[in-house]
Structure 1
Amino acid sequence: MDVSLGAVTVEEGFKAQKWDILGQIYTPLHVTQTSFAIHAVFPAGTFVPRHIHDTQDEFFHMLEGTMVFELDGKEITAGPGTHLTMPMGVPHAIYNRSDRDVVALVVVSPTRRFYEYMQRIDGMTDRDEMARLAALHEVPFV
């Protein structure tokens, strides 16, 4: 993965990519071997199933709206300006239980196979297949 100096907007995305994953819109902003940054929009009522990153740390920086994070069995409600750290090996799930979109900056480090996983599940609706692929890309559902 090439590291390039410069700026990218959410409208442009990294290599003009934008992914629709179960109605959630993810725009990669930067991808290197050591980190992967994503602008994420979570519509009302959407969620990310409980999963674990065995080989990565994950960070959420809340930009708009409020989400509920289940981190290692505990719930944390986070709004704009909140930064959440999910160390590797900690099971977590994410829920937008509000009636409006939530926007966040998501970073995983190191990137490992997560970028490839997100590319693979773009547009997919089969949750069982998504779970199967998650396990193959080091982010198994638990």
Structure 2
Amino acid sequence: MEMQQGTEIVLGDLPKGITLASEAMGNKTWNVLGHTYLAKVESASSFAWLSLDPTGTGVPPHVHPTQDEHIYVMEGVYTLYLDGEWTTAGPGDTVRMPKGLPHAYYNKGETPGKSLFWVSPAGRLSQLFDQLHNLDDPEEVVRRSALHDVDFLPPGAVPGA
């Protein structure tokens, strides 16, 4: 059940149904700094999106202080920063990033990446994606992210990032 509260939509329990492979839940699709995100599940307890990651794209080191985040890699190989260490994950691998863990991911390979990401609880990440859609100013991305419980580390804080 959805309830309108001011300008935010508050979702109740997870809505039943199927989000088809070729579709986004609620037709929510975002372009965030070269990545295409398609909403797959959205409720108060969790938020999942399909991420299409062209070669050369990535998300710099950041922290979700209130959310656990996961990545299920479907295609491509991701270079990951996980709390001080660099590693890779490929098709079939699941990446676990507990809340508070500094992390980053990049597609440095020669083929596009495709992964299912999800966070729990959902927090305000969907609303953040609404604000970041087609925004091409990295400083503004960092500023708006901080207002939605995603804190980017300062440039140079992570060697190799």
TM-score category of the 2 structures, normalised to the smaller one:
over 0.9
User: Contact (CA 8 Å) 1:57, 1:108: kept in 2 or not?
Assistant: yes
After TM superposition, the score normalised by the length of structure 2 is: 0.86
Amino acid at match of 2:28: Q
Q: How far did 1:22 drift?
A: 1.2
After TM superposition, the score normalised by the length of structure 1 is: 0.97
Q: Which has the higher contact order (CA 8 A, sep 6+)?
A: 1
Q: How far did 1:17 drift?
A: 1.3
Runs in 1 of length 4+ with deviation above 3 angstroms?
Answer: none
User: Contact (CA 8 Å) 2:39, 2:48: kept in 1 or not?
Assistant: yes
Pair 1:67 & 2:78 matched? yes
Q: 5+ residue gaps in structure 2?
A: 1-10, 154-161
Q: How far did 1:88 drift?
A: 0.2
Pair 1:40 & 2:54 matched? no
In structure 1, what is the equivalent of residue 152 of structure 2?
141
User: Contact (CA 8 Å) 2:79, 2:105: kept in 1 or not?
Assistant: yes
In structure 2, what is the equivalent of residue 100 of structure 1?
111
Q: 5+ residue gaps in structure 1?
A: none
Q: Rg: which structure is higher?
A: 2
In structure 2, what is the equivalent of residue 130 of structure 1?
141
Q: How does 1:14-33 map to 2 (within 5 A)?
A: 14-33=25-44
Q: In percent, how many aligned pairs have the same letter?
A: 36
Q: How far did 1:100 drift?
A: 1.3
| Distance in structure 1 (CA, Å) of the matches to 2:100 and 2:38 | 25
In structure 1, what is the equivalent of residue 156 of structure 2?
none
In structure 1, what is the equivalent of residue 8 of structure 2?
none
Supply the RMSD in Å over aligned alpha carbons. Answer: 0.9
Q: How far did 1:11 drift?
A: 2.5
